[in-house]
Amino acid sequence: MQRRRFLMGMAAAPLLWHANDARALDNGLALTPPMGWNSWNCFRAEIDEEKILSIAEAMVSSGMKDAGYEYVILDDGWQTAERDSGGRIQPNSVKFPGGMNALSDSIHALGLKFGIYSSPSYTSCEGLMGSRGHEQRDADDFAAWGVDYLKYDWCKFEGSEAECRAAFELMRDCLAKTGRPIVYSAHDKCTEGSESGGLPWIREVANLHRVSPDIKDDWNRMLECIDAGVELYEFAGPGYWNDPDMLEVGSFGKDLTERFTRRGYRAMTLNEYRTHFSLWCIASAPLIAGNDLRCMPPDIAAILTNPGAVAINQDPLGAQGRPVKTRDGVQLWFKPKSGERSCAALAVNRGDETASFSLDLEALLLGPGRYAARDVWTGETFALDAEGLALNGIEPHGCVLLSIEPAE
Ligand code: GAL
User: Which one-letter amino acid corresponds to residue 221?
Assistant: R
Q: Rounded CA gap, 115 and 72, in Å?
A: 6
d(CA 343, CA 284): 13
Q: In the prediction, which pLDDT does 192 show?
A: 65
Residue in 125, 117, 214, 93 with CA at minimum distance from that of residue 171: 117
Each residue's pLDDT tens digit, 138-167:
999 999 999 999 999 988 888 888 898 999
Other C-beta atoms closer than 10 Å to the C-beta of 125 total 20
The model's pLDDT over 104-145, given as tens digits with 9 standing for 90+, comes to 999 999 999 999 999 999 999 999 999 999 999 999 999 999
Residues in the chain: 408
Q: Tell me the CA–centroid distance for residue 44 and ligand 1, in Å.
A: 9
> Does residue 153 line the site of ligand 1, with CB under 6 A?
yes
Active-site residue list: 153, 214
Q: Is 214 in the pocket of ligand 1 (CB under 6 A)?
A: yes
DSSP for 321-357 reads: PEEEEEETTEEEEEEE-SSTT-EEEEEEE-SSS-EEE
245 Cα–ligand 1 center, Å: 10
Q: 52 by DSSP, 3-state: which? A: helix
Contact 83, 89 (CB under 8 A): yes
- Spacing, Cα 383 to ligand 1 middle (Å): 45
**Ligand 1 mutation pick, 41, 214, 216, 225, max ligand atoms within 8 A of CB:** 214
- Does the beta carbon of 126 sit less than 6 angstroms from any atom of ligand 1? yes
**Residue 311 CA to ligand 1 centre (angstroms):** 28
CA–CA distances in Å: residue 261 to residues 219, 270, 339 = 13, 19, 45
Nearest atom, ligand 1, residue 154 CA:
7
pTM of the model: 0.94
Confidence band, pLDDT 50/70/90 cuts, at residue 91: very high
Residue with CA at minimum distance from ligand 1 atom 7: 155
Nearest residue (by CA) to ligand 1, atom 11, is 125
The closest alpha carbon to 228, from 312, 160, 290, 285, belongs to: 285
**What's the pLDDT score for residue 14?**
40
Residue 76 in contact with ligand 1 by CB distance below 6 A: yes
What's phi and psi for 376, nearest 5 deg? -70, -20
Q: State which ligand 1 atom lies nearest to the alpha carbon of 155.
A: 7
Residue 195: pLDDT band (50, 70, 90) is low
For ligand 1, atom 3, name the residue with the nearest CA: 214
